[in-house]
Amino acid sequence: MNDPAGLPLEHAERPTFTEPWQATAFALAVQLHAGGAFAWPELAAELGTRIAIDPGGEYYEHWLAAVEALVVRHGIATGAEIDDTTEAWHAAAAQTPHGRPILLHGTRER
C-alpha cells in the first residue's frame, strides 16, 4: 500500500531524520556539494568506507564524519578548526536560553 506521495507506507510512517542535527548534517553536505567542495560520488565512497569500518554505528554520525573528512581533505577547514567550532557551539548552546538562536562568537541575531 502506498501513501499519496507514492512512498510505501513503511517509509512514509518513519521520519527521514530522527534528530534536527541529522537534517542539518544532510543539508551541509548538499550545500558543500552544490558549492563545488566535493563530488557526490566522493561523499558516497567516504560514507561507505566509514559504514564498512563500523557497520553497527549510527548512520548520520557516519554521514557527518564523512563530510568532515572531505572538508579536511579539500582544505576547507582543518580538523582542529572543526573541533574548535564544535566546542564553541556546545558552549554557546549551554548558555543560550531555550527558544533563542544559538550564536557563536562573532555572529549576531537577525
pLDDT 10s per residue in the chain (110 long)?
Answer: 445 555 555 655 667 889 988 999 999 999 999 999 999 999 999 999 999 999 999 999 999 999 999 999 999 999 999 999 999 999 999 999 999 998 987 666 55
Rounded CA-CA distance 110/98 in Å is 17
pTM: 0.77
Query: Could you tell me which of 59, 31, 63, 58 has the C-alpha nearest to residue 47?
Result: 63
Residue 105 pLDDT? 76
Name the 3-class secondary structure at 2.
strand
